[in-house]
Amino acid sequence: MDNIEKLDKVTVKFAGDSGDGVQIMGEQFGNVTAVVGNDFATLPDYPAEIRAPQGTTYGVSSYQIQFAAYDIYTPGDNPDVLVAFNPAALKVNLPTLKPGGIIIANEDEFTEQNLRKAGFESNPLEDGSLNSYRIYRVPITRLTLEALKEEPIGHREKLRCKNFFALGMISWLFSRPLDPIISFLNKRFASKPEILGANIKALKAGYNICDTMEIFPVHYQVPPARLEPGKYRNINGALATAYGLVVASHKSGLPIVYCGYPITPASEVLHILSALKHYGVISIQTEDEIAAITMAIGASYAGALGITGTSGPGLALKIESLNLAVMAEIPLVVFDYQRAGISTGMPTKTEQGDLLFALFGRPSDSHVIILAPCSPSDCFWTAIEAVKLTTKYMTPVLVLSDQFLIHSSEPWKLPELENIPNIEIEFRKNPEGFYPYIRDEKTLARPWVKVGTPGLEHRIGGLEKSHIYGNVSYDPENHDLMTKLRAQKVQRAVQDIPDVQIMGPPDGEILVVGWGSTYGHIKAAVELANSEGMKVSMIHLRHLNPLPKNLGEVLRKFKKVVVPELNLGQLSYVIRARYLVDAIGYNRVTGKPFNVSELLSFIKEEYKGLKTH
């Protein structure tokens, strides 16, 4: 009889060389976790080097997933289980493993050469240094080759199946079904039946060997979470962004023209959209960042949805053209998928370093609407809102996403598309009384005219325009007026922004303020703080320019305002300057999301400070 232990929450980390198939292994484990109904969150972590020397710590790739029988918000601070495909994977990830955690090591890779590459002086599987952990030494490579010895594929192809052998083992350990993984393999390798057969055989062999060899003394079950009824799928931020843009296209009746130049991590969204041609998406891979944004501007000028995406280094190159869209006052959505800087920085790691750049990093007084999604699934809704605001206010919208959001995933309840409101678009067609810079009284937006509309010919471009008439103007008073009108137009968008909502007590001790991808970590820390008897509230900002109209009022209700950010204090700077509130920053730029435990410790220290004064 099986020895089954029930758990309410587990964090598992897969780690190996970048050629070991760790990411696909983690993704499939996440898909199965979605099928069985657990809530979960993931953290893929890629090496920055395109192809670091095999077996070195520089080339370690990992995938962490926390899954539970209740709502969770983060991929977990420290894994309970580490699956290490080689010594380098163990070396890099051992410091994060929980005390007493499980290590499943592919002992075949712990050779003298690989140990030396990873910086070990002796074999940690044999020298007693891991005695505080539960270690399972499994010859994953040899067992995979043995299981596939009759398969008609080459030795290298057989070795590449070891990730699915290991996935079979972990599926057994946590009582996951194999059918969803087999379904994935059938689609992925439909045109390669021999590779398909080998991977399925390796998967099943890894699963079954846990019984026949009794590798683990126990296996675990995590009951399904009590999720809201509906149809769910596993989604990451890249997919959610792409799907949001497609829905916005259909709700507005306008085609998408997404223009991008390959750059990590923005490239993934371009790849996804390029496969959605049948939904009216036009995707263009351009020769550089400047071409990408100018093509998108041209698309909007012609009456389509001009959209571009990049990360910080690419945004720097787009700035002059972004200001062209500000001056021309036409719709444009720019996604900045932030990554760790500065310069090339750590291109596969996450950060929130571009907020002040987004607000102020352009010549002259140039204002744009700025949004920031808070979770992978929120990328869907933020993309739709960006299209709505850019077309309503005829001004660029800059969306600050980031590497963590793009690649991490969670269960997403599919929305009822008919319940998503249409985005009303009105092109000016009547030439009577038309001038290019007459403005809507409510929004201050100028008319949107499709190029070539009879009788509506007008000047447009980067030179300053005269108020109403659109002629090139060097008049000082006109320049002052037009600059203020463009700034006021962005601030008018506050009428479409909901008031900020307080989570927790409406006033009192500490208010934690966050933005972007820190949402889940802050929420988890605040809930823990309150469970320990502290009076802590939080707000999270999606709208960073303009800020919600009640934000100042909310901030002043609390004795302390603390702002955790993955930068050196950029939102803290804005809050201090705008509201004269003594915001206290908690700032890290490690290239990784916050740990909940470190945020909780920070909140405790600030709370203790309140009680001692």
Tell me how far apart the alpha carbons of residues 39 and 608 are, in angstroms, rounded to a whole number. Answer: 33
What sign for the dihedral angle of Cα 551, 552, 557, 563? positive
Tell me how far apart the alpha carbons of residues 371 and 367 are, in angstroms, rounded to a whole number. Answer: 13
Instruction: Please report, rounded to a whole number, the percentage of residues in the chain having pLDDT higher than 70.
Output: 99
19: confidence class by pLDDT, cuts 50, 70, 90: confident
Of 3.90.1150.10, 3.40.50.970, 3.90.70.10, 1.20.1250.20, the CATH number of 235-419 is: 3.40.50.970
Residue type, 265: P
Each residue's pLDDT tens digit, 456-483:
999 889 999 999 999 999 999 999 999 9
CATH topology for 508-611?
Answer: Rossmann fold (3.40.50)
| 203: its two tokens | 């998967």
Each residue's pLDDT tens digit, 31-46:
999 999 999 999 999 8
| Mean per-residue pLDDT, 542-546 | 98
Tell me how far apart the alpha carbons of residues 360 and 375 are, in angstroms, rounded to a whole number. Answer: 25
pTM for this entry: 0.95
Closest alpha carbon to 167 in 206, 201, 200, 221: 206
Domain 4-221 matches domain 235-419 at the CATH topology level: no
Of 3.90.79.10, 3.40.920.10, 3.40.50.300, 3.40.50.1460, the CATH number of 4-221 is: 3.40.920.10
Domain boundaries, the chain: 4-221, 235-419, 508-611
1: confidence class by pLDDT, cuts 50, 70, 90: very low
All residues at 6 or more sequence positions from 308 whose CB lies less than 8 Å from its CB, including other chains: 258, 259, 260, 292, 293, 295, 296, 318, 332, 333, 334, 335
Tell me how far apart the alpha carbons of residues 1 and 586 are, in angstroms, rounded to a whole number. Answer: 51
All residues at 6 or more sequence positions from 19 whose CB lies less than 8 Å from its CB, including other chains: 54
Q: What is the pLDDT of residue 2?
A: 65
Tell me how far apart the alpha carbons of residues 409 and 268 are, in angstroms, rounded to a whole number. Answer: 14
Q: What is the pLDDT of residue 44?
A: 96
| 479: its two tokens | 């320049």
